[in-house]
Every structure is written in structure tokens, then in C-alpha cells.
Structure 1
Amino acid sequence: MTQIKLVITGMGAVTPVGLGVDAYWSGLTHGVCGIGPITRFDASSLPIQIAAELRDFHAENYMPRQLARTMDPFMQYAFIAADEALRGSALSIEREADRIGLVMGTAMAGVTTVACTQAAFDAGKRVGPRFVPMAIGNIAAAQIAIAHGLHGPSLTVGTACSAGGDAILTAALLLQAGEADAVLAVGGESILCPVVVSGLAQAGALSRRNDDPEHACRPFDAMRDGFVIGEGGGALLIETLEHAQARGAQIYAELAGWANTNDAHHVTAPDPTGAGAAACMRRALERAALPPSAIGYINAHGTSTPLGDRAETLAVKAVFGDDAPPISSTKSMTGHLMGAGGLTEVIACVQALREGILPPTLHLDTPDPACDLDYVPNTARKADIAAAMSNSLGFGGQNSSIIVTRCEK
């Protein structure tokens, strides 16, 4: 079966280092760190008191106040990112609404709404009628579809921290199957509530650098001690090349390869050999019909956990050998956006292709002998690349790899 060429024609980003793709990219290339003390709630009694929040964010600046009140924060972020992607694409929706699909990715959906509602209920308050629609994951996609009149396929994936990448993969499968001509892949996440922070802290997953939040997320550094929770949203409009060319769309990049695998090893820990992640990267390269040497940059999952960074390094070495390309973790700036990360990090890859700049890995000061690749430490780097890969690796052994290339029309 001949593979249909797919292209990216719209992008949207809501992140702790910038709202909107231009601001997000500027934040990454200038090494802006969005991590600081938690302000969303009183975290003084918790072992972890830091996160990458969206600060000075007011949803009503981007949507009607009443609509904002009906959405959990993860929905708001996804909604705003989707709006930016659709507006930037100049896609005429009304005349082909049945052929425009939507795939949403989120790890924990409306967990903050669940936590806040439970606390209020325990304090004797009533549960409001909006509780369930604000808590379940697919309503983020529903709100976007309602606002823009999208009538094509609508799916929501919940594959933990690889959900954003898997939303892109699912969009590609829909397009390849002829189920749509354009699909909006969206991710959104906000898990900032005491119960989740406490649970991840007890699991030993989070950095405990409460006294130095800006330097807490240190991917691939010998002194790394866990990830930092982030929040945000991302969106990509993906179309068949034929459809995009027929309407004269601006094409940002080709979506050349995608893959998903499972470690089948442990519910939270990665396979220490990196075998599952390596298999995922190989499948994405095979889909893209590219040799490893064609990849000029990898945006790593790179969460700053001792086990995860080491396993990903081994996986990259297994696929690319001694000629591994530069690899960086933008989570050192944004924190871990979970379901939104796969989208925003692919956007970073697209921008690296377009702008010829590789975003850095911040706070990489102490080399780890077990992590000995070129991680673009601390400062952005100019580089002329033609293909880039984004990896997202999640709890449950979920692995996602996405490859974007310059579009050869």
C-alpha cells in the first residue's frame, strides 16, 4: 500500500515558557526556565513545592468567561493551542467539516477537578452539574469540535506521557486510512493538585530541589534527582499533502514517521536496557524510509530521572551507534508537560528544521559517565538539519517516536 504524504500546516502552543508558538520557541532558544515555587495551592506541607506553572494566565483572555468556567485547566490549554493551530492554518472548516478530524492526548485528564471537587464535597459542599464533563478526557476534544464545527472522527488517547505523540500517530493513521483529509492532533495537561504531587513524591519520581527550583530539572546531568511537573497544551494540524496543496496552505514540515511500542517491563520504571524505546525509534525510521544518519536532531523524552535518562541514552546509542545526532531535553525549561509534551516537543523539532537552531538542555553541568551523548548543554546551537525526531516515553512502558522532515514538494 502506497503511503500518503502527510504535512503539518498549523501549530499551537501553551507552555510555561511562552504562550503561542513564537513565544514558546523564543523561550526555548533563549534558555528561559519556567520552573518556580507552586502558587496554585498551598504546597508548604508537601515534600515537593515546585512546578512549571502557567503564570499570569487568565483563560478568559482567550475564550468567553462562561466557557472557561466549564473547563478543567487541561481543557483550557488544549482549547487555546487548538485555536492557534486552526487560525494559523487558514483552513476553511465549514465547507468540509465532515472531513476534518480531531485526536486528543492527555495522561490524567481532569484530575485537578476531581481532587478539588472531592475536597469541597468532604467539606460539605454540593457537587455541581459540570463536574463530570470537566473531569473526563474526551470533553476537551468535544469543546474544540463544538467551537470550530468539526464533524469528522474524534478520538481521545490516554497513553500516559506518550499521549501527545500517540495523538499524532493516531491522526496519521486516520489520514492514511482515508477517514479524513485533515486532523487536528491536540494535547493538554494540568495535574497540579496536592494528591497527585504527593503520590508522585512518594513514588520518588520528582525532584526535591525546593530551595533551587530553577535548577531542579537537570536531564542527563549526574546530579539529577527526578522530574518537575509542568502544564500546558499543544496542537498540530496535519493534512494530506494533496489536500494542503489544493488549498494553497503554508506547509511547515512533513510528518514523515511515527511509531508506538511497549516495554512490557514495569508499570512505572523503563526497561533499563532501552530496548523498547530503541525498537520504537527504528520503526519510526522505517516508516519514514530514512537511515539513522538522516536525523539531525533528537528532542529527547529526557525527564531528569536517574533511570529514565540512562535508558533513553542506551536506546539512542542502540539505534544511532557512535554517530548519534545532537539530542536535547526541552523539559529542562518547561518541566514535564506529560500529555501535552509530545505535541509541544514536536513543535520544537519543526521549529529547529525551519530556523536552523537546536534548543539546549539547561543545567547540564556535571557529566554523567552513563549519559555521554551530545545533549546541546546550556546554550542553543545553530545547525542546518533536514530531519528531526521526538521521543515520548510514558508509565506503563509506553514509547512514542515521531519524525518530521523538511517538506520536499
Structure 2
Amino acid sequence: MTAVRRADGTPRVVVTGFGVKSPAGGAPDEVVAAVFSGKSQAVHVPELLEAGTAVSYGCPAQPFDEEGYFTRPERRRLDRMTRLGVAAADDALADAGLHGAERPAPERRGVFVGTAAANLASVVALGGHEHAGTLHRVPVPAVPMIMPNATAANISIRHGCEGPCPTYSTGCASGATAIGEAAFAIRAGRIDTAVAGGVDAILTPFVMAAFARIGTLARRDDAPHAASRPFDADRDGFVVGEAAAFLVLERADAAAARGVRVHGEIAGYAAASDASHIVAPRQDGRVAARCMAAALADARLDPRDIGHVSAHATGTRSNDAAEALAIDRCFVGGAPPVTAAKGVTGHILGAGGALEAIVALCAAAAGLVPPTANFAGPDEQTGLIDVVHGEARAVPVAPVLSNSFGFGGHDAALVLAPA
């Protein structure tokens, strides 16, 4: 990657840092290894078992050394979601080497965070005071704990980022939206660098009960490891996970001047809305296909230039069928190989697009497509695409198309080019 500007004269946006806290590990190489292993991270969750929820398993983020990131007062006033997000952002900035004097001016650094549910777990927990008649005992840090923008604000304060600091909520497309919008801000000259990604942590009895009520959860209580089945004919719902994943984005010329390692490029981005249903995807895949095509056009790439597709693929019957049709519509004449990480990580909501972007860039650089966990075979709808399973598949080093779709009909597509 030698050119520092795109064909339209705008700067290329490269990725110089990764950070992640997830069910599959607390470091990018751990996550990538877990996804390539095809081993599901789903387990029974004690809190859910105790509450007697209809589904008592999920994919919780692995514990990490919080004392290495936060003081004792910080651990008390930051809720779990914010701690995951801030720690992952810290790691990403450290990976990029952006802690020292080489950083751009504060006003040229932005923070872009995506979340599907924000601090819902804290809202539910703190709301219990109302029902218990203990409103006079609501904790002093309650307000900063339940602010939807708490993660973005804390990252900004911690690292002195005085540029744009938005929080996006486009359902489970939120992490991809944050990355794409950050890349656009850098291209437009508003900022020079950004930490961008997604975070969610809502693996609680209330949330699990709510998802169960609308029939979206996989029901395999006797075999949690086999429950998340992207594109599989026997899929019956998703497995809720929690994670945070962040990338550091920079102007390519600035990264070159610093001599820093580049993981890849945010080559294209597009967003759209199904404008169809509040929780179900548009079944004809038309808008999602158009969103993918728009991301390819933004990257100035032909569909034939894509090495593989990193699918959203939650494991629900309607979502996977609609996405398979959308991929088939976008790649007329034959889609490239398709993979889905959620068989391993579960559905990590707003963090999904960001974590999957990290995995996709690493996989593309290696010329390998990870296998899709728990995929035994397609049904009529998902048989439209070539789902990689069983073992990794070697492909030429090439850009990846990464899809993210959210409740509300939010579609986001990223084109990620390996360095």
C-alpha cells in the first residue's frame, strides 16, 4: 500500500491499531485463533441459571486484569460495558503507538463508538431501586453509568481527544457504522485519526427474557456450544454475547511518516435502511445488496476483486436467508467464499462489526478464510452461497466485504483491504 491518497484525491484511511475484549479472548491474536479454530465460546451463565431464564447460556467476555487499566474509584463508577470499551480502546491506541508526542493535536483526534443497547444493563439494575422502594439509595455515579455515550466520553477524556466524539446506535450494525463514519470524517479532513469501534454487554436475565419473548434466541440448553449456527439448515436463533472491539484509523500519509505498522485500509463504506420491519430483515435482500454494492463502489472495486465475505449471519432463519440472497444479488455470476464469526463469538451486538473487521483484516492478510462454526449444511435459501466450513480455505490475498445488519433495518457494509 504505497499510495497515500485515493483516486478522488482524498486521503486513504489505514488501520494502525487493534484492541478487543471478547468471549474469544482479550487480544486480537487470541480472537483470530479462536475464530479459526471454529470452537464456540458459548457457556451456561450462572446469573441466568439462577434467574431461571428460558435460555441460560451465552458468550460472556473473558475476564481481564481490570486493575491494569483502572483505579479502584474508576472500577466503582464505570459499569461493565464502559470498562470493556475503554480497555479495548486503550489496547488499540497502544498497538498504534499513539500514546506519545507523535499524536496529532487534540482537536484532530476523534472517538467514534457504536452500541446497540448502550448501558441497558445498568439502567435495569439501577431501576430496581424504584421497585424496591430504595430510591434514596440510588448510587451517586448512577447518571454517568447510564449515559448512552459513557464509553465514548470516557475514552475521549482518558486520551485527550477533543475532536468529534459521537455515539452511534444502529442496532447490531453500530460498530461498523462507527468505523465507516470515522473513516469518512478523516477523508473529509475534519480529523487526522480516530479510535472507532463498538461495545455491548447486556448478558442479563432481563435482556435474555426480552429476546426470548420475541423468539430470536437459539434453544439448545443441553448443548450451548452447538447453538450458534450461522447459515446452517438447522439454525433456530442467535446466542447473545458481549464484547468490545476498537480500531485506530489514521490518514495514510501520517502513518507512513510515523513508520508505524499498518494492519490494512478502510477502503469502502456504505449504509442504508431496509425501511421494512422493526426486527426482521427485508426478505428480498434488495436494500442489503444495494448497500454492499455501494461500499464496493466507494472502494472503487469490482465484485470480482473481493476475496471473501465476512457475513453478519446471526443464526436466525430469516436473517441468514435474507443475507444469503443479498450476497447472491450483489455478486452476480457467483459470490466469493463466505464466512461468519458468530458461530464462535455469539452475537455480540454493536461490537460485532468491529470485531469482525479485525478478524477479516487478519484473515485476508494471511490469504485464509476462517471456517464457519457449527455449519453442517445449508437449506434451500442459504445454499445460494459458498459457506466455508470444516477448515480454513486458502484464497488469494484480497480485500474483504464485511456486512453488519441491525434491528430497525440498519445495514452497513465495509470494504477492508489488507496491508
User: How far apart in 1 are the matches of 2:50 and 2:411?
Assistant: 32
Match of 2:132 among 102, 116, 123: 123
Give the superposition deviation at 1:403. Answer: 0.6
Instruction: Determine whether 1:214 maps to 2:225.
Output: yes
Post-superposition Cα deviations, 1:123-145, rounded to whole Å, max 9, x if no partner, equal 24321121121112211111112
Give the superposition deviation at 1:223. Answer: 0.8
Give the superposition deviation at 1:120. Answer: 4.0
Contact 2:21–2:62 (CA under 8 A) maintained in structure 1 = no
The residue aligned with 2:93 is 86
Give the partner amino acid of 1:386.
A
Give the superposition deviation at 1:44. Answer: 4.8
Instruction: Determine whether 1:146 maps to 2:153.
Output: no
Give the superposition deviation at 1:357. Answer: 2.2
Instruction: Determine whether 1:185 maps to 2:192.
Output: no
Instruction: Determine whether 1:398 maps to 2:410.
Output: yes
The residue aligned with 1:242 is 253
1:403 match: secondary structure: strand
The residue aligned with 2:3 is none
The residue aligned with 2:4 is none
User: How far apart in 1 are the matches of 2:272 and 2:100?
Assistant: 34
Contact 1:73–1:189 (CA under 8 A) maintained in structure 2 = no
Question: Taking structure 1 as reference, are residues 41 and 296 closer, same or farther at Cα in structure 2, changes over 3 Å only?
Answer: same
Post-superposition Cα deviations, 1:318-341, rounded to whole Å, max 9, x if no partner, equal 011232111111000000111111
Match of 2:175 among 153, 164, 173: 164
Spell out the pairing of 1:7-406 with structure 2 (5 A cutoff): 7-57=14-64, 59-92=66-99, 96-125=105-134, 126-372=137-383, 373-406=385-418
Give the superposition deviation at 1:40. Answer: 3.8
Give the partner amino acid of 1:123.
A
Contact 1:93–1:149 (CA under 8 A) maintained in structure 2 = no
Instruction: Indicate the percent of aligned positions where both proteins have the same amino acid.
Output: 37
User: How far apart in 2 are the matches of 1:240 and 1:209?
Assistant: 46
Contact 2:25–2:62 (CA under 8 A) maintained in structure 1 = no
Contact 1:161–1:341 (CA under 8 A) maintained in structure 2 = yes
Which structure 2 segments of 5+ residues have no match?
1-7
User: How far apart in 2 are the matches of 1:368 and 1:148?
Assistant: 48
Q: What TM-score do you get using the length of structure 2 for normalisation?
A: 0.94
Give the superposition deviation at 1:114. Answer: 0.9
Give the superposition deviation at 1:107. Answer: 0.7
Question: Taking structure 1 as reference, are residues 306 and 41 closer, same or farther at Cα in structure 2, changes over 3 Å only?
Answer: closer
Contact 1:105–1:187 (CA under 8 A) maintained in structure 2 = yes
User: How far apart in 1 are the matches of 2:28 and 2:98?
Assistant: 18
Q: Matched residue pairs, number?
A: 407
1:348 match: secondary structure: helix
Q: What TM-score do you get using the length of structure 1 for normalisation?
A: 0.96
Contact 1:28–1:333 (CA under 8 A) maintained in structure 2 = yes
Q: 288-297 vs 92-101, which deviates more?
A: 92-101
Post-superposition Cα deviations, 1:34-75, rounded to whole Å, max 9, x if no partner, equal 101122444552111111012444533432232122222221
Which structure 1 segments of 5+ residues have no match?
none
Post-superposition Cα deviations, 1:182-230, rounded to whole Å, max 9, x if no partner, equal 0110211011122211111010111111111000001111110000100
Post-superposition Cα deviations, 1:357-385, rounded to whole Å, max 9, x if no partner, equal 22111111143121112111132223332
Question: Taking structure 1 as reference, are residues 138 and 267 closer, same or farther at Cα in structure 2, changes over 3 Å only?
Answer: same
Contact 2:269–2:294 (CA under 8 A) maintained in structure 1 = yes
Give the root-mean-square deviation of aligned CA atoms: 1.5
Contact 2:48–2:55 (CA under 8 A) maintained in structure 1 = no
User: How far apart in 2 are the matches of 1:7 and 1:364?
Assistant: 33
User: How far apart in 1 are the matches of 2:197 and 2:92?
Assistant: 9
Question: Taking structure 1 as reference, are residues 116 and 42 closer, same or farther at Cα in structure 2, changes over 3 Å only?
Answer: farther
